[in-house]
């Protein structure tokens, strides 16, 4: 547990009052890992446990966008998603309050359940790619301008903004940036045309947890409607997903032949995000992919 001073207690009780409309006594709290951006805590109150994260990074709308994304995923009733209790601004801090999800060891059908449920999530569609609102991936703004063509969306709302930012920040050179243009010309022949699928948007192992029933729960989304292959590709970038997950997904919602060969193309987007967030250590991965396909 962490010792709560008057200022910390007042902050928690104030934002809980804003969210619930009634006073709640904060009893104890435990600091948790909040990632690279936020501070997070498990907060024990006179009513229930809450998960609260907050920051002073000055990214207006970050938690509002996350809350809207969580609610969008919850409405599909496909996977457990933590319920949003409230979000807002308190003095110089932005905050998000969620229900607390307890964790337990994974059940025997955990990976099969995750694969089947993700396939069901991806069955939710809409006429256009993108989303009615922009959001964030990490600290970076993520543009979701609604677009009729999926490949054009992937180029204009995913690859091009991140490549441009990397060039502006001096993380890649003009020669590498220009190679993206050659890849863009080839994408219609390289990627299959599929209808928009509702995606979690930031699906790596750190954003999947095991709930108290031993079943999967998704957190920290960057939702949009896009190519479902991009979501599956992202899960391979840093590993951590069992082969039973992929087998269950493919059985429920088969992918077109050649998906494994297309994985590097989709992973250009998260690699560029990592270049812009964490530096040039990820540039070599981008170079290898462009050399293979560009």
Is 77 part of the annotated catalytic residue set?
A: no
**Quick one: how far is CA 114 from the chain centroid?**
16
Q: What is the pLDDT along the chain (294 residues), one digit of tens a residue?
A: 555 677 888 999 999 999 999 999 999 998 887 556 788 999 999 999 999 999 886 666 999 999 999 999 999 999 999 999 999 998 789 999 999 999 999 999 999 999 999 999 999 999 999 999 999 999 899 999 999 999 999 999 999 999 999 999 999 999 999 999 999 999 999 999 999 999 999 999 999 999 999 999 999 999 999 999 999 999 999 999 999 999 999 999 999 999 999 999 999 999 999 999 999 999 999 999 999 997
Measured distance between the N- and C-terminal CA atoms of the chain, rounded to whole angstroms: 52
pTM equals: 0.94
Report residue 84: phi and psi, to 5°.
-85, 125
Domain extent listing, the chain: 6-99, 110-293
**Residue in the structure block whose two tokens are 């079943």:** 215
110-293 CATH pick, 1.10.3720.10, 3.40.50.920, 3.90.1200.10, 1.10.760.10: 3.90.1200.10
Other beta carbons within 10 angstroms of residue 35's beta carbon come to: 15
Among 25, 102, 202, 220, the one annotated catalytic:
202
Other beta carbons within 10 angstroms of residue 200's beta carbon come to: 25
Superfamily of domain 6-99, CATH level 4:
Phosphorylase Kinase; domain 1 (3.30.200.20)
Q: Which residues, in sequence order, are bridge partners of residue 52?
A: 41, 97
């Amino acid at each position: 547990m962490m010792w709560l001073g008057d200022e910390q207690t007042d902050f928690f009780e104030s934002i809980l009052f804003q969210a619930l409309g009634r006073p709640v006594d904060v009893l104890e709290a435990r600091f948790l890992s909040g990632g690279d951006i936020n501070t997070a805590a498990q907060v024990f109150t006179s009513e229930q446990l809450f998960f609260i994260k907050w920051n002073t990074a000055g990214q207006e709308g970050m938690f509002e966008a996350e809350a809207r994304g969580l609610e969008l995923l919850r409405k599909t009733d496909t996977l457990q998603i933590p319920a949003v209790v409230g979000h807002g601004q308190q003095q110089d801090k932005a905050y998000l309050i969620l229900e607390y999800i307890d964790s337990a060891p994974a059940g025997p059908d955990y990976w099969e359940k995750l694969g089947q449920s993700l396939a069901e999530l991806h069955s939710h569609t809409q006429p256009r790619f993108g989303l009615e609102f922009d959001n964030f991936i990490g600290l970076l703004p993520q543009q979701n301008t609604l677009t009729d063509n999926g490949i054009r969306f992937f180029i204009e709302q995913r690859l091009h903004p991140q490549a441009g930012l990397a060039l502006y920040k001096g993380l890649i050179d003009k020669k590498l940036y220009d190679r993206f243009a050659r890849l863009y010309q080839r994408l219609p022949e390289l990627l299959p045309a599929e209808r928009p699928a509702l995606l979690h948007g930031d699906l790596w192992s750190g954003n999947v947890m095991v709930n108290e029933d031993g079943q999967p729960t998704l957190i920290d989304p960057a939702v949009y409607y896009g190519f479902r292959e991009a979501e599956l590709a992202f899960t391979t970038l840093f590993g951590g997903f069992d082969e039973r997950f992929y087998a269950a997904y493919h059985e429920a919602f088969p992918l077109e032949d050649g998906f494994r060969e297309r994985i590097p193309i989709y992973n250009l987007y998260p690699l560029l995000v990592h270049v812009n967030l964490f530096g040039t250590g990820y540039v070599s991965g981008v170079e290898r992919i462009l050399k293979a396909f560009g």
